[in-house]
Amino acid sequence: MTTPSRSSLSARSADHVVAAIPAAWLAVFFLAPLGFTVVFSFARSVFGGVELAFTFENYRTALTGFNGATFLRTIIFAVSASALCLAAAYPVAYFLARHTGRRRAIAVVLILVPYFSSFLIRIMALHMLMSRGGFAETVLNALYLHGGPLDVLDTQTAVFIGMVYAYLPIAIVPLFVVLDRIPKPLLEASRDLGASPLKTFVFVTLPLSRPGVATAVLLTVVPMLGEMVIPRLLGGSKGVLMGQAISSQFLQSQNYALGAAMAVLVLLAVGVMVVLLARLTKGFAEIGQ
């Protein structure tokens, strides 16, 4: 019977230490705050703090009245805006995957240029674009597509436009990566067997791009569910979503228990969407083989 050498034991110890560092980081900065949030969601709120007591009152309040309408509106906005991002991003990603050289380079630069500035600056630029007397109003009036002032700001429409504008480039990237990895011989074989371009797309390209579709949806719908900047700057009092409502409960009303319950509901919504999209990621390892 052989005994482990001192070098192998020290190597294992080093591996355990290396693995323990990120595990400790996740435990301290993710699991612990998440646990406190769940516990606080069942507590009773007192001014400036919470009183530990198991109650579902916070969830009842979060799912009824104004808060319930805000939660439902957030889910509808996130899902519909993500779907629109996907519908607009897929043709762009398909174009990038089917072209090389200068055309692709120019298109990629145009997509990434907005990210050279901060998120807040981009949303403020959109705010100025849609404001009264702004560029959008001037163009629409010049084309006789709209008469008078443009009343878009401080509406739910402005929030929806802002969410699509902000997250559309994020949806393009995973779609492009997956579409670009689809083996060209598969497409050529489909055409050689007599399939039309439409059939090749429906029965070859689209199924193999499911992982990219799922990733694009997750990368857009998850941050949209917690979006706070866009509703605050573009929606005003008419475009409040859950991110802004949760922030208001913690920072203004100091109702930590209700804010925690609302945050848990958002996390549950994210979890449900992840489960629903999990099937689309099946077969990801087969792409490119």
Query: Rounded to an integer, what distance in angstroms lies between the CA atom of residue 242 and that of residue 263?
Result: 8
Number of structural domains the chain divides into: 1
pTM of full prediction above 0.85: no
24 assigned to some structural domain: no
% of residues, the chain, pLDDT over 90: 46
Is 12 within a domain?
no
How far, in Å, are 96, 177, 192, 278 from residue 79 at the CA level?
A: 25, 23, 39, 16
Query: Which pLDDT belongs to residue 286?
Result: 46
Give tens-digit pLDDT for 39-94.
999 999 887 788 888 899 999 999 999 999 999 999 999 999 999 999 999 999 99
| Residue 43 dihedral angles phi and psi, to the nearest 5° | -90, 170
When pLDDT is cut at 50, 70 and 90, the band that residue 14 belongs to is low
For residue 145, give its domain range: 67-286
Q: For residue 191, tell me if it sits in a domain.
A: yes
Q: What is the CATH number of the domain that holds 176?
A: 1.10.3720.10
Burial of 192 (0-12, 13-18, 19+ CB in 10 A): exposed
Higher pLDDT, 271 or 148: 271
259 in any annotated domain: yes
Q: What are phi and psi of 51, to 5 degrees?
A: -120, 115
pLDDT of residue 9: 53
Residue 136 contacts residue 161 (beta carbons within 8 Å) = no
* Structure confidence by residue, pLDDT tens digits, 133-148: 777 777 777 776 666 6
Q: Is residue 31 part of a domain?
A: no
| Average of per-residue pLDDT across 3-11 | 57
- 137 found inside a domain: yes
Within a domain: 54:
no
